[in-house]
Structure 1
Amino acid sequence: MLKYTFSFVLILATICFGFSSGDPKGNGFVITGKIKGFSYPYIYFAHTEDGVSKLDSCAVKGGAFKFAGKVSEPEMVFLHTKDRRLQKVFYAENVNMQVEGDINALDRLVIKGSKVQDDYAELETQIQAHRNRVMNLYNASEAAKNAGDSIKMKEILTHAEKLYRMEYDIRMQFILTHPNSPAALQELMVWTNEANYKTAKTLYYILGPEVKSLKKAKEVAQRLDNLETVDLGNAFQDFTQNDIDGKPVSLSSYKGKYVLLEFWASWCGPCRAENPNLKHAYSKYKDKGLNILGVSLDDNQARWKNALEKDNLPWAQVSDLKGWKNEAAVKYGIQAIPANFLIDPQGKIVHRNLRGEELNKVLEKIFN
């Protein structure tokens, strides 16, 4: 389950106020909105403050609203209605910004006033056009299927899937052509994974000095270093976290044994769906030397405990209850779950992200 997130820090609390002009402090942002035909009584502004998720609301009058606050650096924010009919992710920076649109075309809201948002809007347009081309191909393949032409259907479907994977190339090209934009930094964070981190490091080096001075740049650089550290063939990175009873468990306590380090969470559907396969593998190979250490990205102990009891997982489970900021997950460069690493008795990472039948084949080769 992929995680696509944005994080930012508001130094001052975001406020909703009447229709006086400007930010009271004069050095933050003011987001003024006007949406034709907008009849919702309130609109919501999601953000984080000092690492804590916040949700501000503002009364709407005649389709107009206004938020003000301050960001430490240009960052993504989320504007939405309670029923999520309107959902708009965009960049806020400390300037006057305007949101304009029509209730009948909420997917085409325009955000003005921010150069960073202009850059991001350019990328959004390219991505949407690309996805429209992919969707047209999928529709064409379905039409061929309904017409009984299975050969044409497969040809179109193959082309559609190849084109879909090219979205990564669009994001990479955006980074290359916008090295001085904070929006490129965010895209680099999203684009980077264990398979492309070496290319991502090259892209990071070409970013402008002002972009590299941002707080987000330090996060990206750390993630790149972490991905390199836990690449296949490297030694595991040790950590210690408490189990559900508060007892500390260290990954190093498994040294000299095979251990599958499994990152998951109670709220992750694909993770929970994989648990029966893990239980089958564990039952089959535990007496031959397989160990599993689960690391939960939960932030609620009761939900974590309930999931452990419901899924009846017999191996050790730990968590620091920091959610996506779980220190072990950060150390291992985790951006999506489920995720796992198979570590051999010498302490080397020998496989990663083994699922379903692939996991069974690898374990059968090792233990039989």
Structure 2
Amino acid sequence: MPRLRCPWPPQQRSGSSAGRLILTARFRFPSILSLMRHRMLWLALLSAGTVRAQSPVNFTIKGQLGPLSGPAKVYLRREGLFQGAITDSARVKDGAFVLRGTTPTPGRARLVLVLAGKRRRLLTGQADQLRLYLEPGTLTLSSPDSLTHAALVGGPLNTEYQALQRQLTPVQAPLDVLLAEYYATPPAQREATGVLRRLNTQQKLTEPVVKSLQTGFVQEHPRSLISLDVIQDLAGPIPTYEAVGPLFLNLDASVQNTPQGLAFAKQLLALKRVAVGATAPAFSLPTADGRTVALADYRGKYVLVDFWASWCGPCRRDNPNLVRSYRQFRPRNFEVVGISLDTAADRAKWLKAVQDDQLPWTQVWAPEGWNQGVAPLYNVRAIPQNFLLDPAGRIIATNLHGAELQSTLARVLPAAP
């Protein structure tokens, strides 16, 4: 589970930067436009038979829940290749439902329960939900109350997944309690109540244990499709090739050559382009006053390439530490270049954030946004994200924040003249 990040697309577009914070240690929920695009992709793949000539998988999900407070429907949200697509739904009557559908390939999904008038919760992630695997045959679930507490009986994929969850659930329970408190607390009060601090502390305790259990599962199950999904969970919103590449390469070829595996292999190639040891991709970007700044301008210096945005709460909270590091280490041949991913509509907010946070280093703007130009060149999918380069332009470290940034700079930079 990674630190707090702001993924793309931005979430919770409220007035304050704190209100834009989301926890990507849990789930990312795409925009409505993105959902439509993913649904069209799923339908196209299904109808055209383009998913590596695999036969479509027919599945049935039968459920029995406890009493509900009103009319409700269950929706199926795909993950993996079809991230966020809502492809199936069924009405819940007297707590019971049956959902039948077809999927091009077995894979992970979320079953989401939405009460009448609460459809927005389907998009925000606040609705009652359960992760499961779509596989041939019938999956049966039952619960005295919510989907979250449902017992599942299904095929081999769901049986294997439930075994993994039995290991992870008790470890994640303290963090889940704090997550519930975090979401129940108004954004403006999260820092004052201390829930954000306690959440970060608990995350630091939980993360290494969860990663150890997940890594062990992958190593013990190289022929399992679930292992591929676990590797992507381990990758988090800001993956590195060093963390996930070796695990993927140790999977059996039968998993690597699935549609999901081939898609992930493509992502790994992009990660390798900005892995530690690689030469940082070149770019030229405009400043606020129209000058062009090129990465090549920084050759001969250690430089931190910092991706951020005015609306990103974690970025803004990290800025004071970055300012301190910049002032402390600048005499030791160190520079920072900030790359804003604010949209054209947020240009004024970007400039105000630079002024409010008193950022003294060069600031450039990526007017193409997230989907073109420098962001995909550096495989940036969530922020804050940064890359530390040596004087030859090679990447020597990534995603340095807080004390880790301070200690790394102190170790690698030459002494001041």
Q: Is the shorter-chain TM-score for this pair beyond 0.5, marking a shared fold? A: yes
Aligned 1:297-312 pairs, distance under 5 A: 301-302=344-345, 304-305=346-347, 307-312=349-354
Q: Secondary structure at the match of 2:262?
A: helix
Match of 2:366 among 298, 307, 318: 318
CA contact (8 A) 1:263 1:337 kept: yes
Corresponding residue of 2:167: 126
Q: Secondary structure at the match of 1:98?
A: strand
Corresponding residue of 1:273: 317
What is the CA deviation profile of residues 173-227 of structure 1, one whole-angstrom value per residue up to 9, with x for unaligned ones? 2112322221110111222489985574443234233211122212433444444
2:320 is the alignment partner of 1:290: no
> C-alpha separation between the residues in 1 aligned to 2:366 and 2:415?
26
Corresponding residue of 1:20: none
Q: Secondary structure at the match of 2:93?
A: coil
Alignment CA distance shift 1:87-1:163 (3 Å): closer
Match of 1:179 among 218, 222, 244: 222
Alignment CA distance shift 1:46-1:27 (3 Å): closer
Aligned 1:204-219 pairs, distance under 5 A: 204-219=248-263
Bigger shift: residues 203-212 or 116-125: 203-212
What is the CA deviation profile of residues 289-333 of structure 1, one whole-angstrom value per residue up to 9, with x for unaligned ones? 62413253x7x653x5364134126601216434xx677555545
Where structure 2 has 5 or more consecutive residues not aligned to the other structure, the ranges are: 6-23, 30-34, 45-54, 177-202
Q: Secondary structure at the match of 2:249?
A: helix
Greater relative CO (CA pairs within 8 A, separation 6+): 2
Aligned 1:82-97 pairs, distance under 5 A: 82=118, 84=126, 86-93=128-135, 95-97=137-139
> C-alpha separation between the residues in 1 aligned to 2:299 and 2:111?
48
Corresponding residue of 2:21: none
Aligned 1:1-368 pairs, distance under 5 A: 1=4, 3-4=24-25, 5=27, 11-12=42-43, 28-43=58-73, 44-47=75-78, 53-55=84-86, 58-80=90-112, 81=114, 82=118, 84=126, 86-93=128-135, 95-103=137-145, 106-131=147-172, 165-192=208-235, 197=241, 200-238=244-282, 251-252=295-296, 254-279=298-323, 285=330, 290-294=335-339, 296=341, 301-302=344-345, 304-305=346-347, 307-312=349-354, 315-318=363-366, 320-322=368-370, 328=374, 332=378, 337-356=383-402, 358-359=404-405, 365=413, 368=416
Letter in 2 for 1:46: R
> C-alpha separation between the residues in 2 aligned to 1:245 and 1:58?
55
> C-alpha separation between the residues in 1 aligned to 2:404 and 2:264?
31
CA contact (8 A) 2:59 2:138 kept: yes
Where structure 1 has 5 or more consecutive residues not aligned to the other structure, the ranges are: 14-24, 136-159
> C-alpha separation between the residues in 1 aligned to 2:289 and 2:110?
37
> C-alpha separation between the residues in 2 aligned to 1:133 and 1:291?
38
Q: TM-score, normalised by structure 1?
A: 0.68
Alignment CA distance shift 1:350-1:65 (3 Å): same
> C-alpha separation between the residues in 2 aligned to 1:176 and 1:115?
18
Q: Secondary structure at the match of 2:217?
A: helix
Letter in 2 for 1:90: L
What is the CA deviation profile of residues 126-156 of structure 1, one whole-angstrom value per residue up to 9, with x for unaligned ones? 1113445999xxxxxxxxxxxxxxxxxxxxx
> C-alpha separation between the residues in 2 aligned to 1:246 and 1:190?
40
Alignment CA distance shift 1:202-1:307 (3 Å): same
> C-alpha separation between the residues in 2 aligned to 1:327 and 1:91?
36
> C-alpha separation between the residues in 2 aligned to 1:359 and 1:292?
15
Q: Secondary structure at the match of 2:278?
A: coil
CA contact (8 A) 2:60 2:137 kept: yes
Alignment CA distance shift 1:167-1:256 (3 Å): same
1:277 deviation in Å?
3.6
> C-alpha separation between the residues in 1 aligned to 2:135 and 2:76?
14
Bigger shift: residues 43-52 or 307-316: 43-52
> C-alpha separation between the residues in 2 aligned to 1:262 and 1:362?
15
Letter in 1 for 2:60: V
Alignment CA distance shift 1:361-1:48 (3 Å): closer
Alignment CA distance shift 1:301-1:206 (3 Å): same
Alignment CA distance shift 1:367-1:338 (3 Å): farther
CA contact (8 A) 2:90 2:97 kept: yes
CA contact (8 A) 2:300 2:391 kept: yes
> C-alpha separation between the residues in 1 aligned to 2:294 and 2:135?
42
> C-alpha separation between the residues in 1 aligned to 2:56 and 2:275?
47
CA contact (8 A) 1:38 1:102 kept: no
Q: Secondary structure at the match of 1:102?
A: coil
CA-atom RMSD, angstroms? 4.4
> C-alpha separation between the residues in 2 aligned to 1:337 and 1:37?
42
1:37 deviation in Å?
1.3
Q: Secondary structure at the match of 1:36?
A: coil
